[in-house]
Amino acid sequence: MFGIIGSGSWATALVKILTDNGHTVNWWVRNPTAVAHIKKHGNNPTYLSSVKFNPDLLNISTEAKTVITQSTMPVIAVPSAFVEESLAALKPEDVVGRKFISAVKGLLPEKNILLNYYLQQHLHVPVENYFAVLGPCHAEEVAGEKLSYLTFSGVDTKTAEDIAAYFKTDYINTIVNHDILGVQYAAVMKNIYALGAGIASGLGYGDNFLSVYIANAADEMAGFLKKFGAKHITVGEHEGEGKDTLRKSPNYAASVYLGDLLVTCYSLYSRNRSFGKMIGQGVSVQQAKAELNMVAEGYNASKCIFNVNQSVQADVPISETVYRILWEQVSPEDGFKKIEEVLI
């Protein structure tokens, strides 16, 4: 049984997908008032409120530990900044044999690490029992049942395929790969670039500039991912293509890498782009955080990647400049003048 940890828009979308397929879901919703509302009215009052649930398919608890220990496949779908707090009550013996699925799109900010490393260090979860589910897949489009693609990644690709099958619907297509580090770092990096795309928009740059910016961001991200041994970076080449299927094996041009970068940079649903646009328009970081009223993962991610890159030493001038705008008070105008100089 799946357990969803989190009650934001993405967590709510995942609950919708699973229950639309008739699966019972254990769901951690921290706010008791929200729990009462969902049980009575069949919808989340705060996020994706248009989505209606069958209450008979929901086991809701205000205790994260309860949901995880009662689930064979816990899905962690809280912002990265709240992961440690959400899992604090767990001990290694509570999670033995469980398959953890990450729907987190950031690094844990206090440690600059992916969720799989945290679970391994603190709860002794082996990487073979760890999987990631990634987009491009905006929760709002899931709510509207617009066709979207989800990639499930894990070193155990057979189990990843089994997990993916639970999520396949008329409006969700699923893809499987084994590049567990590459897909997660791509999800972190694309939020930084999307935040930068928003800053550019707020500064008044047009579509011509944005296309060049995103193309260079894609190249920069590929260079960073190669440092971590990402498996699917070469465009135009596909490993192990089968003659009995029309679907090619994933590469860097696939949805989970380039596709997610594009939609996060362009979409009006992108909270990172929205956050960045406010920064470009002269709003302070604190004001933008308050006005957005949701977590823009790219904000913390920019600092995490800056710290990680001190040892990795990848060439990431775009990401580094976004970090300096957000954390070191470099003005958006000066920062993007520097970015202009490195674009090709």
What would the two tokens of residue 110 be? 């206090």
- CATH homologous superfamily for the domain 2-178: NAD(P)-binding Rossmann-like Domain (3.40.50.720)
CATH fold, domain 188-342, is N-(1-d-carboxylethyl)-l-norvaline Dehydrogenase; domain 2 (1.10.1040)
Per-residue model confidence (pLDDT) at position 245: 58
91 φ/ψ sector (left φ>0, alpha ψ -120 to 50, else beta): beta
d(CA 313, CA 275): 27
What would the two tokens of residue 177 be? 């790969």
Which residue type is seen at 65?
A: K
The full set of domain ranges for the chain reads 2-178, 188-342
- Could you give phi then psi for residue 68, rounded to 5 degrees? -70, -45
Q: What's the chain's average pLDDT?
A: 94
d(CA 239, CA 253): 13
Per-residue model confidence (pLDDT) at position 246: 67
16 three-class SS: helix
Sheet holding 58-61, edge to edge: 58-61, 25-28, 2-5, 73-76, 100-102, 130-134, 148-153, 172-177
Which residue type is seen at 266?
A: Y
Query: Which letter, b or e, does each residue of 33-42 get, where b requires 16 or more Cβ atoms within 10 Å of its Cβ?
Result: ebbebbeeee
Question: Which range among 126-140, 150-164, 217-231, 319-333 shows the weakest confidence by mean pLDDT?
Answer: 217-231
Percent of all residues in the chain with a pLDDT value above 70, rounded to a whole number: 98
Q: What is the pTM of this model?
A: 0.94
d(CA 35, CA 39): 6
Which residue type is seen at 195?
A: L
Nearest to 138 by CA among 272, 23, 249: 272
Contact 328, 338 (CB under 8 A): no
Q: Would the pLDDT of 247 be above 80?
A: no
Which residue type is seen at 4?
A: I
What would the two tokens of residue 307 be? 């710290």
Question: Which range among 115-124, 133-142, 234-243, 307-316 shows the weakest confidence by mean pLDDT?
Answer: 234-243
Q: For the chain, how far is it from start to end, CA to CA, in angstroms? A: 49
Q: Would the pLDDT of 77 be above 70?
A: yes
d(CA 289, CA 287): 5
Per-residue model confidence (pLDDT) at position 264: 96
> What integer is the mean pLDDT of 304-333?
96
d(CA 118, CA 322): 26
Q: Would the pLDDT of 284 be above 70?
A: yes
pLDDT digits (tens, 9 = 90+) for 137-173: 999 999 999 999 999 999 999 999 999 999 999 999 9
What is the enclosing helix (H) or strand (E) of 173? strand 172-177
Contact 185, 105 (CB under 8 A): no
Q: Which residue has the higher pLDDT, 239 or 134?
A: 134
Contact 189, 224 (CB under 8 A): yes
